[in-house]
Amino acid sequence: MLLYGITIFVSAFLLFQIQPMIAGVLLPWFGGTAAVWTTCLMFFQTVLLMGYLYAHFLRQFFSPRCTWGIHLTVLIAAAVMCRVLPPDSWQPEGNANLTFSIVGLLAATIGLPYFALSTTGPLVQAWQAGSHQNQSPYRLYALSNLGSMLALLTFPFLIERTMTQYSQSSTWTIGFWIFCVLCGLSGWQTWRQTTWPELESESTSVSNETNRCWAYLGWITCAMGASVVLLATTNLLCQEVASVPFLWILPLSLYLLSFIICFDRPEFYRRRIFMPLLVLLAGFSILLLHLNVYAGFLLQMIGLCLTCFVASMVCNGELERGKPAKQRLTSFYLCLSIGGALGGIFVCIAPYLFSGFCEFHVGLTISLLIAANVVYRFYRSQQSVLPIWVAPFGFLIVLVLGMIATSFLYFSDSTYKSGVVFRGRNEYGLASVEDVESRGYRRFVNGQIEHGGQYLDPDKARQHISYYVAGSGVGVAFKALRDSKQVENRNLSVAVLGLGTGAMSTWINPGDDIVFFEINPMVEEIARQYFTYLENCPGDTTVILGDGRIQLKKMQQRQPEQKFDLLFMDAFSSDSIPVHLLTRECMELYFDNLEPDGILVAHITNRFINLLPVLEGHANHFGIKPILVDFTSKDPDIFTRWVLLTRNQQVLNSDFVRHSSVQWPSELEPVEWSDDYASIAALLNWSAAIELDGLAGKIQTEKENLKE
């Protein structure tokens, strides 16, 4: 029994340790979008389904001895083919489909080892049920979830902080080889068994078969509901802050905790506690979705994570109450994996089904319907007077379901908001184009955040607008560099990571050239179809699709002589920070592609994360004095924060730059992000949106110097 327990614990630990590890490797390859983690989880759940199906197939059609021989062959093949880190040559092209590319990369690297690990739970429990028939195998299931949770919690706080990606992959590979030995020894104990324990005697009546089908459907539904809520919660947290392991792991840990509680201490799941909590938290979380910009990050995180945990407790608690006898163990786990995989697939295809973020509503609806089904079955089973709480609770469920349905319609139907010209969604997020007729203004909104706009009047279409005007970091950088270069003798070459509407091109003169790097093809379509900046730019304009860092590196390899005078890091998904674009290695790439007197400009405005310590850490590393430009635009009223990094002494000593910038905060503790470690925990403003040091609207700028 001890060997079985160690094998299951090690397999679960490795199974969930590899998930954030490999997703962290792939994250910068696909622009740091939250869809990377969602797609990875979908792949993991699908392979888990294949592993459970494999275990069920072996249990049904082969003897224990044959099962051990077949599985030993799989273990040997997986150990030989184990490869964690994909080579850089596998990096995707700009037009690659995110979902198919990630699935292909995962299958080619950890596909077979992950499959071998995923079979362990049901297979080892089936071996244990045969050799220790007087002991329940469900305790091993709780032990596997404990191993999974420990793997998730140790990764961001221990593994990621102390080990490079290469060290992580090497250590994991060694751990996998150890697991293969343990699993082989576990199966050896079944060598003398020629048959599995007899199946429970069941009637083949139509009634019994019908009940069994309903049981299978119930298991699948419960597992799917918990899976959808988990993935949707993770997406909600990541799309407005950053797609980082810390925010991936928190909801997943709570999800696993619910498994541990329900299957190891089932008495802790009390319907009278968790079902009312689910109803109340479902309504509260829907309210948070509509507050969004106005709700602090701590409130959002607590509200959404509590909802995820309670919904998982209800779904997994009902799973535990409906679990079968151990003779149908593999069927039970197979249904769980089917539900989990269906939930993952649904969330991955949701961007193609809904124009708004509606999968969270679907997950809550499934969870509430499970609770409603329990109430209904309780009602049907009562032969006497019903308890007084049943009717109010049933009414409350219906009320919250109506609230969710109304919210679903609001997010999925663009006609609920006036002025919407376009609304779309893909794996990179939500995007819309809205006309504000009172100001004669068209704006581009990514997620919940405005990312530029344009006047509708053709005579004003080339005017600087929003946060691309003269007093912003954009205007300061262009004017300061032109003054230092005496631009009548030299044109500018500009690179921009993040296209938006293309408003940066209003600063381009005839003879200049500008290259936009944009990972989201829908953004380019919006910029060309609904705005005219690119069409009317007097200089040479190029848009390169793909992650800015990868494409910039490829350009450097193809054209090493190509250098830029200005390089802007202005890439956001809603308000989510692309962490991989702000690491030390990426900063080195930026400076390698800049002229010696060029300027790197980082747009770091964010509601929840103060990125000044990161930029100060990089400035110290490169021996550069950073320039901070805070600006509040008048039309519309938007506050933005920019940091300029340059070795150009003319720019640093310019009176114009000194008057346009604000003093760098002296109390900051520098933070240096790298590709191996970049934690956002210490930079988060947990209570509310970033107050930006009270500098909004207080910029010391000489107005006459800003006029062109």
Supply the pLDDT for residue 235: 87
The answer to whether 179 touches 10, Cβ cutoff 8 Å, is yes
Supply the pLDDT for residue 144: 80
Supply the pLDDT for residue 691: 45
Using CA atoms, how far residue 51 sits from 71, 120, 256, 330, 552, in Å, is 11, 8, 19, 11, 40
For residue 486, give both structure tokens: 């005496």
For residue 147, give both structure tokens: 């191993």
- Calpha distance 592→54 (Å, rounded): 51
What global pTM score does this model have? 0.82
- Calpha distance 593→615 (Å, rounded): 18
Beta bridge partners of 544: 517
Place of tokens 């890091």: 569
Residues with Cβ within 8 Å of 509's Cβ and at least 6 positions away in sequence, in order, are 487, 491, 492, 538, 539
Supply the pLDDT for residue 565: 94
Supply the pLDDT for residue 239: 75
The answer to whether 13 touches 151, Cβ cutoff 8 Å, is yes
Supply the pLDDT for residue 444: 92
For residue 551, give both structure tokens: 């494409």
Place of tokens 């005007």: 469
Q: Which of 241, 235, 312 is nearest to 281 (CA)?
A: 312
For residue 469, give both structure tokens: 């005007």
For residue 600, give both structure tokens: 């790197």
Residues in the chain: 708
DSSP 458: G
Q: Pick out the chain residues at pLDDT < 70.
A: 1, 94-95, 129-142, 191-210, 240-243, 292-295, 326-327, 330, 382-389, 414-416, 485-489, 573-576, 635-636, 686-708
Supply the pLDDT for residue 126: 74
To the nearest 5 percent, what fractions of the chain are helix, strand and coil? 60, 10, 25
Dihedral over Cα of 22, 28, 34, 35: its sign: negative
Q: Which of 300, 306, 198 is nearest to 251 (CA)?
A: 306
Q: For the segment 374-412, what is each residue's pLDDT rounded down to a tens digit? A: 888 877 776 566 666 677 888 899 999 999 999 998 888
| Three-class SS state of 583 | coil
Distance between first and last Cα of the chain: 80
Supply the pLDDT for residue 146: 82
